Structure 1
């Protein structure tokens, strides 16, 4: 019996390993403009069912090379993205811009590094790499997303750390990088491709699912959204969900969710209502049927409650 059990485990592991290439079937580039493409992750949280493919990544094809925005959440996904790019162009992949140092956007960096791409990120990412959270998240992902995240998956530092906004040109296209953090994270970067009017936002924008707020500064996040609006993009590619030509409407979903969290949890803090009572007494009807609601909404509300307490204490009397 023990032998049969061991044999079953071997067969299961082999079958799972055989599925490692499956994400290629999902990594189909969507053309957003003359030069810009993206792949759209599945809705919901990272899981073995979606193989960690739950965030977006994009790329811009120029006559002098390719600029990639984010690297997806596993090395296997990143390798699939590289193959997808190769189906669109034979131009070399020159640069990867990191929107922020969260697992679903950076675990694929090593695949791009292996082909000689240069990694750019805001220097706030250094704090994440040195934090206690980074190895804990890696351990959790190795357990939840094995074999797509395994002992060979590693965290990479940027080749160039940016201290703020940055502009560059490649192949006649002009790129502007905008540091608008701290918002969703301390190092949030957005990328505007000026000739195409396409804005890659990372997780400053979510569409079609409940955002992940975590311990973010939601007040600063709302200001970051206002700044993105001033860029007047004609096409917006979020960190999660479908891209949209109506940038203003797409910005509104994330803005309204953050405002609702702050209004409901802020009112509870002002009235000294305990969190459990406040959460139970809040209507989540608008969001409860959306992907990632059960995984994210309660922690979003709790962290917002704590933030509103902090803001209340720090507010001048």
Structure 2
């Protein structure tokens, strides 16, 4: 059943609608490079790049959080529908949200009518203050996770990002949304919910253009983040996503691309991580030994290596150690 966005709680039924055929990458889709940050003015240098008619990405740096890049490492986006603008994620800070909103208002005369969050991580929603008069939607699991983590997100990002975070306070979604078809104005979308990167990972597909906003499920040329990850569930999700044969893929981190390149990179990395952590835990390796292990050469060339790998070890390796201990104890 099709539903349009309405105020209040929003729950959409599951659907197996086929995705549109991938569209070729046009000249306007050529990479624009990272934003030109002005630290003195606290200007993120945000730019809107058209991926298809009415579909825009606002690219962040393919890097780790640093004051030098404004801690702007996420690709956000927005889509015009004829009845208003759908915004996909709002960035790392109140300031980012304000500059994103100003960019949208410079790009189109359509009003902003909906914000959608794809998962619970801080760079997806800490810009919400700038959209306080707009319905903001996320899954129930994502909203609960945001509520649980908001205080620690604020503390950590103030520490990492400094003045870029001035005045930032977490504002939670005001609507609940689920997987299924979604219509706003003349646009039809498909929302799909998966798990693996977090407990609830939304993918938004614009059915007209085939552009897919895949959130944190796919990383391109960057080490995946894992604070809420389940590698085995994530790998299963990637197998499902590959079957959808996406056209233009907008990951939250890394360059926009066509086809399965980023998905395959993410799968390769998670397979290596899962297999290596399982083997090393069985051998009794300690975390310091795991941190010193040499990765495949390709991974060491990606953005955020080795910092993100260090966090991967801290997030995930204790779980592999516990699994070995439980098996050794027997039934």
Specify if TM > 0.5. Answer: yes
Look up the match of 1:125: 142
Match of 1:186 among 190, 196, 199: 199
Alpha-carbon distance between aligned partners in 2 of 1:236 and 1:314, rounded to the nearest angstrom: 40
Alpha-carbon distance between aligned partners in 2 of 1:86 and 1:75, rounded to the nearest angstrom: 17
Alpha-carbon distance between aligned partners in 2 of 1:187 and 1:52, rounded to the nearest angstrom: 24
Alpha-carbon distance between aligned partners in 1 of 2:268 and 2:165, rounded to the nearest angstrom: 34
Long gaps (5+) in structure 2: 1-37
Give the C-alpha shift of residue 311 in structure 1: 4.5
Equivalent residues, number:
292
Look up the match of 2:89: 70
Look up the match of 2:26: none
Give the C-alpha shift of residue 248 in structure 1: 1.4
Residue 89 (1) aligns with residue 108 (2): yes
* TM-score normalized by the length of structure 2: 0.82
Look up the match of 1:109: 128
Partners of 2:199 and 2:228 within 8 A in 1: no
Match of 1:143 among 145, 159, 181: 159
Alpha-carbon distance between aligned partners in 2 of 1:17 and 1:266, rounded to the nearest angstrom: 43
Look up the match of 1:51: 70
Alpha-carbon distance between aligned partners in 1 of 2:194 and 2:228, rounded to the nearest angstrom: 16
Residue 156 (1) aligns with residue 171 (2): yes
Alpha-carbon distance between aligned partners in 1 of 2:323 and 2:238, rounded to the nearest angstrom: 20
Alpha-carbon distance between aligned partners in 1 of 2:325 and 2:184, rounded to the nearest angstrom: 48
Q: Cα RMSD between the aligned structures?
A: 2.1
Partners of 2:39 and 2:70 within 8 A in 1: no
Matches within 5 A, 1:231-310: 231-245=244-258, 247-310=259-322
* TM-score normalized by the length of structure 1: 0.85
Partners of 1:189 and 1:202 within 8 A in 2: yes
Alpha-carbon distance between aligned partners in 2 of 1:134 and 1:35, rounded to the nearest angstrom: 32
Give the C-alpha shift of residue 312 in structure 1: 4.6
Give the C-alpha shift of residue 33 in structure 1: 1.3
Long gaps (5+) in structure 1: 1-15
Deviations 1:276-306 (A, max 9, x none): 2233233353222322113211221343322
Give the match's secondary structure for 1:236. strand
Partners of 1:209 and 1:241 within 8 A in 2: yes
Alpha-carbon distance between aligned partners in 1 of 2:200 and 2:60, rounded to the nearest angstrom: 22
Partners of 2:121 and 2:146 within 8 A in 1: no
Look up the match of 1:19: 41
Give the match's secondary structure for 1:144. helix
Looking at both structures, which has the greater relative contact order when contacts are Cα pairs under 8 Å and sequence separation is at least 6? 2
Give the match's secondary structure for 1:42. coil
Alpha-carbon distance between aligned partners in 2 of 1:34 and 1:313, rounded to the nearest angstrom: 54
Alpha-carbon distance between aligned partners in 2 of 1:231 and 1:251, rounded to the nearest angstrom: 12
- C-alpha spacing 1:311/1:190, structure 2 compared with 1 (3 Å): farther
Alpha-carbon distance between aligned partners in 2 of 1:312 and 1:122, rounded to the nearest angstrom: 34
Give the C-alpha shift of residue 17 in structure 1: 8.4
Match of 2:236 among 207, 212, 223: 223
Alpha-carbon distance between aligned partners in 2 of 1:60 and 1:288, rounded to the nearest angstrom: 35
- C-alpha spacing 1:17/1:295, structure 2 compared with 1 (3 Å): closer
Alpha-carbon distance between aligned partners in 2 of 1:31 and 1:311, rounded to the nearest angstrom: 47
Alpha-carbon distance between aligned partners in 2 of 1:303 and 1:284, rounded to the nearest angstrom: 20
Give the match's secondary structure for 1:32. strand
Partners of 1:78 and 1:111 within 8 A in 2: yes
